[in-house]
Each structure stands twice: as C-alpha cells, then as structure tokens.
C-alpha cells in the first residue's frame, strides 16, 4: 500500500489552503517569497493551488542550452533548484509554504511524502506511477507526469509541485524538461480521456493532507482572500 511508504515523523499541524484560479507566474512567485520572508512561529502553513498562464521557469543553476526554442512563451529565472520546466493552463500547481521544523523531519522526507501522495492519487484513477531516486518527480512508464521543486529558506519551504492534468503538451518539446534531452512528458487526459481538474485537485489535497499529517484545514477561495504579500 502506498501509505506504508510515507516517511514517519511528520507531525500534525494546521493548514490554510488558498485557491488562486489562473494567474501569471511572476506575481505569485514574488508573493511566495514575501510570505516566507515575513512568516514567524505563529504563521500557519499554507498551500496555494493555481493554474498558470504559459511560462517557462528556469532554476538557479539552470543551463541555457536546455531552453531550445521558447518562441512567444516567456522564460523566467527563479530561485528554486533544478533546470527548466513549463507551466500552463490545464496543469495543476500546488505551492507548499511550510515550516518544515514542525514536521520533525527534513526536506528529503517532505519531498518523498509529496511524491508518494501523487502516486496514491493517480492510483485512485487507475494510473500506475512511480518516483525515481535520482530524478525528483513522478513518472508513468518513464514519462514525467509531475515535476517537483522546493526551495528551503531557514527550513521554511516555498515553490512546489506541478501535475499535468489536461493540457497542451507541445511547449515541453521546446525545452529539455528538467534538463533531460528527449524526456517524454504525459498528462492524465492522454491516459484517461477527459479529466476534471477540480476533482483531481480535491483528491490530491486529501492525499497531501494525509502524507504530511495536517489537521484543521481552512480552505479559502481566490476572489475572497488574496495571498499574504500578494501583488497579483
């Protein structure tokens, strides 16, 4: 069972979930940085759920040769690790604004928990997926379906995970995804047909909640409650 491989020691805590709808990437990124810089010991952890307008994001140590022909899609240099990836409509993005010290565990355990949460959620749709020890993310028959990249600042995380649900995959051909030439990319719709992204979001939140042992979740809609420090 997937739940048997969740890392141990992830203590329960309270969580705020904010649904942002569709947003440009850069203002949300700046908001994540502001939230992390301004948080204190009393700040609840937050998940932000969003779809982005088309954008390529390049990690801190990203090599320009992995961006082949971006065309009219902007490229933004960001402060996470890893190489280049693509975000666009039909892709579900979760940003994890967590104080990892509350979990009494380390970054690697948190990353593993997130990967196995995605694997469990996909199994609920009949999709068999796995992670790779040497390449963060989740894969189906060798094709990447979810990308994962967190930044830790004083043991507080931001950035997150993107899951390809029902999207135009063509922009991935304009890059070497995550720095791997020829890496195949897949979405849930390619495997299942039409998929409801809101249903996927609900199921994935439940799996993340279980994987990270959160309690007392407070869910907030984007049009009622903007992220702290938001410029979007």
Q: Is residue 229 part of a domain?
A: no
Find out whether 8 is annotated in a ligand binding site: no
Contact 165, 90 (CB under 8 A): yes
Catalytic position from the list 156, 178, 207, 232: 178
Catalytic-residue membership of 207: no
Dihedral angle over CA of 62, 56, 141, 164, nearest 10? 140
Q: What does the alpha-carbon distance between residue 117 and residue 111 come to, in Å, rounded to a whole number?
A: 10
Q: What is the residue range of 113's domain?
A: 2-221
**226 assigned ligand-binding residue:** no
The answer to whether 106 is annotated as binding is: no
Q: What is the mean pLDDT of the chain?
A: 88
Q: pTM for the complete prediction?
A: 0.89
CB 24 within 8 A of CB 54: no
Give the model confidence (pLDDT) of 156-202 as tens digits.
999 999 999 999 999 999 999 988 888 999 999 999 999 999 999 99
Using one digit for the tens of pLDDT, what is the confidence trace for 108-135?
889 999 999 999 999 999 999 999 988 8
Q: What is the CATH number of the domain that holds 97?
A: 3.30.930.10
If one counts every other C-beta atom within 10 angstroms of the C-beta of residue 177, the result is 23
**Based on the structure, what is the number of domains in the chain?**
1
Does 174 fall in a domain?
yes
């Amino acid at each position: 069972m997937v739940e048997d491989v969740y890392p141990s020691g992830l203590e329960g805590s309270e969580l705020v979930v904010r649904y942002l709808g569709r947003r440009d990437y850069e203002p949300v990124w700046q908001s994540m940085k502001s939230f992390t810089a301004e948080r204190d010991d009393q700040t609840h952890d937050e998940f932000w759920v969003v779809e982005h307008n088309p954008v390529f994001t390049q990690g801190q140590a990203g090599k320009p040769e992995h961006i082949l022909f971006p065309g009219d899609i902007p490229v933004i240099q960001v402060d996470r690790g890893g190489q280049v990836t693509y975000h666009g409509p039909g892709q579900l993005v979760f940003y994890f604004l967590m104080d990892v010290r509350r979990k009494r565990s380390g970054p690697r355990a948190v990353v593993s928990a997130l990967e196995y949460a995605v694997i469990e959620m996909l199994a609920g749709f009949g999709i068999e997926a796995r992670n790779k020890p040497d390449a963060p993310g989740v894969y189906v028959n060798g094709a990447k379906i979810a990308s994962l990249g967190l930044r830790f600042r004083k043991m507080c995380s931001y950035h997150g995970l993107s899951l390809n649900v029902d999207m135009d995959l063509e922009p991935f051909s304009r890059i070497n995804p995550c720095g791997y030439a020829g890496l195949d990319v897949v979405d849930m719709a390619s495997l299942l047909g039409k998929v409801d992204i809101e249903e996927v979001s609900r199921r994935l939140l439940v799996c993340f909640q279980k994987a990270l042992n959160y309690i007392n979740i407070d869910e907030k809609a984007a049009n009622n409650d903007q992220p702290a420090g938001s410029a979007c």
